[in-house]
Amino acid sequence: MYVFTLTLFVTLVIQQTSGFKEPECSRYHYEEQILERVVRMGMEFKYQKKDVTNILETVAAKLDAFSKELQVLKRENEELKSSLRDEVQISISDLEKVKEKSFLPIVFFNSKNVADTTVKAGHTIVFTETLVNDGNAYDNTTGIFTAPEDGIYLVSLHMCVKNKQNLYYGLVIDGKESLRGEMYEYRAVTCNSVQQLLTIKAGNRVWIQVYVKDAVLLQSAIHWNMFSAFLLNKG
Ligand SMILES: *[C@@H]1O[C@H](CO)[C@@H](O)[C@H](O)[C@H]1NC(C)=O
């Protein structure tokens, strides 16, 4: 109404000042058109405003729902991430355990020759010339091999005894014999080999000992006396 009055006033002022004269009926018609248009615009505006409000409300509701969904997704993602982290952690520690179990360190020594070919009863035979000592478990000053791991070991002994000499020997683990035997040759000179598969605990000491009486060994470029051990399997 106010807009209409203003328009009417402006129209009148323009007509007065310009001195423009129009037929009266035409002027009413024009004013009527303006009025109609203003009313229509007002109504349109009202409808448009209502539409926009509706749309805004719908959008707001959708945004709200979306944001809630996003929160749920975020939470799920966090849960998934942490459970995945746990799973990976478990797999890694499992793998480490498997690796630890399956990893076989190289434990292998091979030592030959004695310093004195007369080996004495009750003494350890010390094989001084170390050819291999992987794992550094054999001591060539004492003749003692100290097992670095629990496991199954192949222990072997190769001795050459002088003709008509008896060598009573024992394979000893921490003071306890795991094998006893005698080597004797009457007519010829031969060397003898002894092998034993043994379960040995880490830290246990293994050596070759002479029993009963002293014996004289044969030792030359073609007669070797030798002591060796090899870790076959852990556990
Ligand atoms: C005795 O063992 C030590 C240490 O393993 C080594 O360095 C040395 O060469 C060995 N001696 C002989 C004569 O093999």
Residue-number span of the structural domain to which 50 is assigned = 23-103
Whether 139 and 174 share a structural domain: yes
Does the beta carbon of 139 lie inside 6 Å of ligand 1? no
Tokens of 222: 């073609």
Ligand 1 pocket member 142 (CB < 6 A) = no
Distance 146 CA to ligand 1 centre (A): 16
Residue 122 inside a domain? The answer is: yes
Weakly modelled stretches of the chain, pLDDT under 50 = 9-10, 12-13
Minimum-distance ligand 1 atom for the alpha carbon of 130: 14
Question: Are 86 and 143 found together in one domain?
Answer: no
Please tell me whether residues 139 and 47 are part of one structural domain. Answer: no
Specify the ligand 1 atom closest to the Cα of 131: 14
Do 163 and 83 share a domain, yes or no? Answer: no
The closest of 223, 110, 227 to 157, measured between CA atoms, is: 227
Distance CA 34, CA 39 (A): 9
Q: Looking at the domain assignment, is residue 200 inside a domain?
A: yes
Of all protein residues, the one whose alpha carbon is nearest to atom 9 of ligand 1 is 130
The Å distance, Cα 132 to ligand 1 centre, comes to: 9
C-alpha of residue 127 to centroid of ligand 1, in Å:
10
Per-residue model confidence (pLDDT) at position 114:
93
Centre of ligand 1 to C-alpha 110, Å, is: 11
Its pTM stands at 0.63
How far apart CA 129 and CA 222 sit, in angstroms, is: 15
- Cα 227 from Cα 3, distance rounded (Å): 120
Question: Candidates 112, 126, 127, 130: which one to mutate for ligand 1, based on the most atoms within 8 Å of Cβ?
Answer: 130
Per residue in 117-133, pLDDT tens? 999 999 999 999 999 99
Judge contact between 225 and 128, C-beta under 8 A.
no
Do 113 and 98 share a structural domain?
no
* Range list of H helices, the chain: 2-18, 24-102
Task: Report which ligand 1 atom has the smallest distance to the Cα of 111.
Answer: 14
3 state SS of 56: helix
Q: Are residues 223 and 112 in the same domain?
A: yes
**Residue 98 placed within a domain:** yes
Domain-terminating residue out of 39, 71, 103? 103
Distance from C-alpha of 111 to C-alpha of 191, rounded to nearest angstrom:
16
